[in-house]
Amino acid sequence: MKEGELDARQEALAAIAREAGERARKLFSNPAGVKLKGVQDFITAADGEVERLIIERLKARFPHDAFLGEEGGTQGSGDALWIIDPIDGTANFAYGIPHFCVSIGFLSAGEPMLGAVCAPMYDELYLARRGRGALRNGRPIRVAGGVEMGQALIELGWSSRLPAKAYTALLERVLATGATFRRAGSGALGLAYVADGRNHGYCELHINSWDVAAALLLVREAGGWTNDFFAGDAIARGNAVLACAPQLQEALVAATGVGQANEKFERRIS
């Protein structure tokens, strides 16, 4: 994709992520239509409304691009693909907890090029462009430097898609490194927090592409390391994810088993 075409998408992305975040913020005061898609897997009316807003705005500017939304699935085809999670942290949203975000990633020919994560209740907008760094509210961010495992905070994402014992085994192995853990309920924000040093790592043994498409680029552009998430059919089916400050890579790959073959991704994204 030509630089000018990417410039146009970057500019649109920042404005649309802000607008979508603002819509989610308004809807948060009175979450409607809360339902379960599966065990501990929430959807609210806001998910559909915010996703439709994002796709409508993007389509108006880029009618030939393709879209993959958490709620609406795939629309269109081609090399220019937007991957959207309208509200990541839906359970938090449904329970009145302000830890949720809008996540919009843009891939060109399978390469993550742009990412936006907007946390409207914190008034924080993260943006990344491949090769040009990562920003929070316009200021450059970096992953945490100098942190060792014995002081590290690793977020461990959980969903009901895998058996509980996979999570408890992961938790035991990560705790054995000396790190502590948390689970705050938004994979996209957990990864964005790795990018700006608030978390030192994020791991989840299965996560969907809409949860990570924007934030993995944030981590890489902020100097962090991530596994080869987009290998194979991860866009459609999800994958394991590990992202961290680079000095923790070896210990976390060993503890989690995620990311042993990352060469392809390293080439693609750096």
Would you name the residues annotated as active-site residues?
A: 70, 85, 87-88, 90, 211
Among residue numbers 131 through 150, which ones bind ligand IPD (CB under 6 A)? none
Is the Cβ of residue 103 or residue 108 nearer to ligand IPD in the bound state? 103
Q: Which is nearer to ligand IPD, 208 or 227 (CB)?
A: 208
Interface residue with ligand IPD among 106, 158, 225, 265 (CB under 6 A) is 158
Residues 191, 226: Cα–Cα separation, whole Å: 10
User: Binding residue for ligand IPD (CB under 6 A) from 65, 71, 196, 211?
Assistant: 211
The residue from 10, 108, 186, 226 that contacts ligand IPD (CB under 6 A) is 186
Please identify which residue in 10, 44, 90, 262 interacts with ligand IPD, judged by CB under 6 A.
Answer: 90
Q: Is 108 in the site for ligand IPD (CB under 6 A)?
A: no
CB of 156 to ligand IPD, least distance (A): 9
Q: Which is nearer to ligand IPD, 173 or 183 (CB)?
A: 183
- 259: contact with ligand IPD by CB under 6 A: no
Phi first, then psi, for residue 105 (nearest 5°) are -115, 150
Give CA separation, 87 vs 21, 124, 212, 242, in Å.
Answer: 9, 15, 12, 21
Interface residue with ligand IPD among 21, 69, 89, 120 (CB under 6 A) is 89
Instruction: Output 6 or 214, the one with its CB closest to ligand IPD.
Output: 214
Beta partners for residue 201, in sequence order: 154, 244
How far is it, in rounded angstroms, from Cα 252 to Cα 177?
Answer: 8
Can residue 88 be called a binding residue for ligand IPD (CB under 6 A)? Answer: yes
Cβ neighbors of 41 (< 8 A, separation 6 or more) are: 159, 160
Q: What is the spatial distance between Cα 172 and Cα 82, in angstroms, rounded to a whole number?
A: 36
Cα angle at 220 between 183 and 158, to 5 degrees? 20
Query: In the bound complex, what is the minimum distance in angstroms from residue 38's beta carbon to ligand IPD?
Result: 10
- By CB under 6 A, name the one of 187, 201, 224, 259 that touches ligand IPD: 187
DSSP class per residue in 123-169: TEEEEEETTS-EEETTEE--PPPS--GGG-EEEE---TTS-HHHHHH
The amino acid sitting at 186 is S
Residues contributing to the site for ligand IPD (CB under 6 A): 70, 85, 88-90, 157-159, 185-187, 204, 207-208, 211
